[in-house]
Amino acid sequence: MLIVPEREIAGLMTRGAAFDAVEQVFAAMARGDAWNFPVVREALGHEEALYGFKGGFDRAGRVLGLKAGGYWPHNLERRGLINHQSAVFLFDPDSGRPTAMVGGNLLTALRTAAASSVSIRHLAREDAKVLGMIGAGHQATFQLRAAVEQRDFEKVIGWNYHPEMLPSIEGVAAEAGLPFEAVELPGMAEADVIITITSAFAPSLMADHVSEGTHIACMGTDTKGKQEVEAALLARAKVFTDEVAQSISIGEAQHAVAAGLISEADITPIGAVINGTHPGRRTAEEITLFDGTGVGLQDLAVAARVVDLAVAQGVAIEVDF
Ligand code: NAD
């Protein structure tokens, strides 16, 4: 069995490799070659922690396993550790033997950013110039770094519930050589692409804050009750997702479906666009919305890639298990 510790991930995984791994597994899911297992997420009643498992099997890529982890809200103040903690475990699909244990913290941010990036590549207008960011926390910086590589953006605009956090994404925009402007929410009408990546339980982005032709990647809503955008926006948009079952239960679409504004049949897996079995964006005026709920197969895909890279570079630790 191989171990790839968290400290090695930054030196091994690239945004490009994460993008390719996530794009391929979304495509495999839409073909029926890969599927996710039901998500387990439990409140531990200890340290106010949420803990759970996201697993799946990619028959095409021969990747089987799970990510175990969750959120410990007091880690930073009490232990100097980040609050999100996870590890990925991979198994040989032929025998069930464990093959690898991989640090999952950085990989989670990279695979989540890769998902919105895949949606931008396949659904945003080619001439998109203004990128809007809603959210400025840990994930937002990864999201922004990945998104700016997808189109010739000329400017980044941003809004955050806690405006004092905006300098973190302004810094990433500056690294990419892009000007940054803080805006009020109606100012998002200037954006051609909008990423929402917050932990909100009430909508910030309203349907009338968005212009025709915009692509929106809703990345923060991954739990029942969370919400970042007005449900009416999903009715105005063509909705895509990583996985329909998660989209309607724990994703952004949960609210629009519950309100009867859209139905499950209105939501298209992004893998169908990648595979060419769905046209994706049909017109320059259409609003497209990607509901990125985060699936276990994304974690397994990037973990499997990192194991290959670790072996190639001689940094995987082999243990007799
Ligand atoms: P974080 O704690 O670092 O940042 C939270 C962000 O949400 C900040 O921008 C904060 O200002 C904003 N926020 C907090 N309360 C708000 C409110 N009431 N209204 C609007 N905005 C508010 O968290 P993070 O690590 O950046 O994660 C952000 C979200 O992304 C979380 O909900 C997390 O669960 C989710 N997430 C999703 C995936 C996925 O695959 N879809 C993966 C990882 C994280």
Question: Residue whose CA is closest, atom 31 of ligand 1?
Answer: 199
Flag whether 71 is in a domain. Answer: yes
Q: According to the model, what pLDDT value does residue 211 have? A: 98
Q: Could you give the number of structural domains in the chain?
A: 2
Are 179 and 249 within one domain?
A: yes
- Whether residues 222 and 159 fall in one domain: yes
User: Are 24 and 8 in the same domain?
Assistant: yes
In a domain, 235, yes or no: yes
Q: Is the CB of 219 under 6 A from ligand 1?
A: yes
Same domain? For 174 and 306 the reply is no
Q: Does any domain span residue 113?
A: no
Q: 280 and 314: one domain?
A: no
Distance 179 CA to ligand 1 centre (A): 24
Q: Of all protein residues, whose CA lies closest to atom 6 belonging to ligand 1? A: 198
Answer yes or no: is the C-beta of 136 below 6 A from any ligand 1 atom: yes
Strand 227-229 vs strand 267-269: parallel, antiparallel, or unpaired?
A: unpaired
Among 139, 162, 169, 224, which is best to mutate for testing ligand 1, by the most ligand atoms less than 8 A from CB? 139
Q: Is residue 116 part of a domain?
A: no
> Residue 227 belongs to a domain with what CATH number?
3.40.50.720
Instruction: pLDDT band for 276, please (50, 70, 90 cuts).
Output: very high
Q: What is the pLDDT of residues 15-64, one digit of tens each?
A: 999 999 999 999 999 999 999 999 998 999 999 999 999 999 999 999 99
Q: What confidence category does residue 292 fall into, taking pLDDT thresholds of 50, 70 and 90?
A: very high
pLDDT (0 to 100) of residue 299? 98
- Give a yes or no: residue 91 inside a domain: yes
pLDDT in tens, 85-137: 999 999 999 999 999 999 999 999 999 999 999 999 999 999 999 999 999 99
Q: Is residue 227 located within the same domain as residue 251?
A: yes
Together in a domain, 89 and 192: no
Looking at the domain assignment, is residue 117 inside a domain? no
Query: What range does the domain containing 27 cover?
Result: 2-108+297-318
Asked if residue 16 and residue 142 are part of one domain, the reply reads no
CATH number at residue 101: 3.30.1780.10
- Kindly give the interhelix angle for 166-175 and 138-147, rounded to the nearest 10 degrees: 30
* Residue 277 domain-assigned (yes or no): yes
Whether the CB of 241 sits within 6 Å of ligand 1: no
Same domain, 82 and 187: no
Q: How far is the CA of 214 from the centre of ligand 1 (A)?
A: 22
> How far apart are the CA of 134 and the centre of ligand 1, in A?
10
| Whether 15 and 75 share a structural domain | yes
Instruction: Please indicate, yes or no, if residue 244 is contained in any of the structural domains.
Output: yes
Spacing, Cα 228 to ligand 1 middle (Å): 10
Mark whether 187 and 222 lie in a shared domain.
Answer: yes
Q: Are residues 288 and 310 in the same domain?
A: no
Q: pLDDT tens digit string along 209-254?
A: 999 999 999 999 998 999 999 999 999 999 999 999 999 999 999 9
How sure is the predictor about 202, in pLDDT bands with cuts at 50, 70 and 90?
very high
